[in-house]
Structure 1
């Protein structure tokens, strides 16, 4: 784990720590949003789903605060080297988390019409997919907070497992749709939900790449293994 250096001006360290804390807080809100979204899917609770959708505004507001803090740091502190990487990474990570919040809200939004049709068994596969995404998010937030490049790299590699699970869910949903046309509407909603969750994993890997860059001062250039085969023509 990387140990951050101390600056001569303590208030500068405090500002950087506060920026990191805001990012982590924003990430924790996004994790909670995804957990709540999957919960309302399973409970078929329309009112709770709408609350999840509405709560996305809190994540948006935090991103705005972080953007303002970054501008202030750039203007007043003129950071260089590792500090500059950290400040710009915070901006990029905040944008990734904001998108994660949007995807979680989309899952909750789709659960509203889904709750108005007969229950479908493959919802369980969606919950498994979400668990993998939640694990990725928690691990990458910890890696960011601790400036741990190796832990971030493990998250980056682990996204292949989420891709594989997404492919399984995708196949199961197509099978249900082919077996009974009445399943087409609910399975279509579930397909969009599954894709939203798969995209959350992609944003977690973006955050991991930023952590690697902040700590090591160079981009993560290893070829990324993608296990999502749903776009294959022979699928």
Structure 2
């Protein structure tokens, strides 16, 4: 196989692995919130165990990218594609960790009845999942319009975050016996807020890939 064809095949492999990590991360997030709502400890433990697959893929992407840089010495757009692949893989690995953290929060809450329905937390999760899906679509299609849309959606996540935090802090006045649970739910909200930030970071990677310069979409 000619060198250029092999190089392009390896680039496609990086892209495919990123999409695979993204899919695993989206599934993990959905399962984590469902597990929290159902207070399913066994399923929470499964989420923690399944995260190993994401870590393996992240390592494979980094190894492949480093070998491509060392052997092919790519320039311009090809080099940006490799750099962005490494960056996005790291973002996705961190996002999957947030799903694991939500599962761990579920375990810490245990079977104590939830102090209130997690309706707004689920709304945050749905937006975060959409942001992840759109950011990966933007990456796959190298579409900065979609990437910008993801960044705009982060404002919705931040707004819900502020609203939920206020609600939970107000509950501390009358539910002192549930401080452990409230603390865990506050952490869950923080994990989701950070999840949205990382999805925005992926969009920034798309801008860098297409435009060749860095843009701060988190402001």
Q: Same fold (TM over 0.5)?
A: yes
1:123 and 2:103 matched = no
1:185 aligns to what? Answer: 180
Q: Indicate the residue corresponding to 1:33 in structure 2.
A: 28
Determine the C-alpha separation between the residues in 2 that align with 1:168 and 1:53: 29
Residue 9 of structure 1 deviates from its aligned partner by 2.5
The equivalent residue for 2:78 is: 83
- CA drift of 1:97 comes to 0.7
Structure 2 portions without partners, runs of 5+: none
2:212 & 2:145 partners in 1: Cα distance?
Answer: 14
Q: Secondary structure at the match of 2:192?
A: helix
Task: Determine the structure 2 residue equivalent to 1:231.
Answer: none
1:207 paired residue number: 202
Is 2:128 the partner of 1:113?
Answer: no
- Is the CA contact 1:143–1:151 (under 8 Å) kept in the aligned structure 2? yes
Check conservation: 2:15, 2:85, Cα contact below 8 A: yes
Identify the match of residue 136 of structure 1 among 127, 131, 135. Answer: 131
Taking only aligned residues, the RMSD between alpha carbons, in angstroms, comes to 1.5
Residue number in structure 2 paired with 1:173: 168
Q: 1:10 Cα deviation (Å)?
A: 2.1
CA contact (8 A) 2:102 2:188 kept: yes
Partner of 2:51: 56
- Specify which of 6, 10, 35 is matched with residue 11 of structure 1: 6
Deviation at 1:88, TM superposition (A): 0.6
Contact 1:152 1:209 in 2 (8 A): yes
- Residue among 201, 216, 229 paired with 2:211: 216
TM-score (norm 2): 0.95
Q: Within 5 A, what are the aligned runs for 1:92-103?
A: 92-103=87-98
User: How far did 1:119 drift?
Assistant: 2.2
For structure 1, the 5+ residue unaligned runs are 1-6, 226-235
* Aligned-pair CA distance for 1:56: 1.0
The 3-state SS of whatever aligns with 1:179 is coil
